[in-house]
Amino acid sequence: MKLYGIKNCDSVKKAIKFLNEHNLEYQFVDLKSQTIECDTINDWLKSVEMKKLFNSRSTTYRNLKLKELNLDDTAKIEWLCKEPMLIKRPVIELKSGSTVVGFNQDEYNQKLL
């Protein structure tokens, strides 16, 4: 499985702790240093709703003043592709092809164990 995030994010730290405690193997992908392909984002959106993946509460969202643009889903995908800090973290890509976004202990217990 792959874990996408940034090292200093509290939710990502919780996810890493969960994975390590349960001896689950994962590859960490740093959203600050590695480019995420639009195809990858579109794959995530096959199993996760846009409102869960697109982080409209982030500092990046506020700094870019995206609320004023009243973005539709197509425009949100464009922004996610060019500004990965708009992606809600962490994103866990499972080998089954499904995706888990954010940190939720119950969801992790259900989908990762």
Active site positions, annotated? 9
Tokens 């962490």 identify what position? 90
| Dist. CA 19–CA 89, nearest whole Å | 15
- Counting beta carbons within 10 angstroms of the beta carbon of residue 31, is it exposed (0 to 12), middle (13 to 18) or buried (19 or more)? buried
| Dist. CA 91–CA 89, nearest whole Å | 5
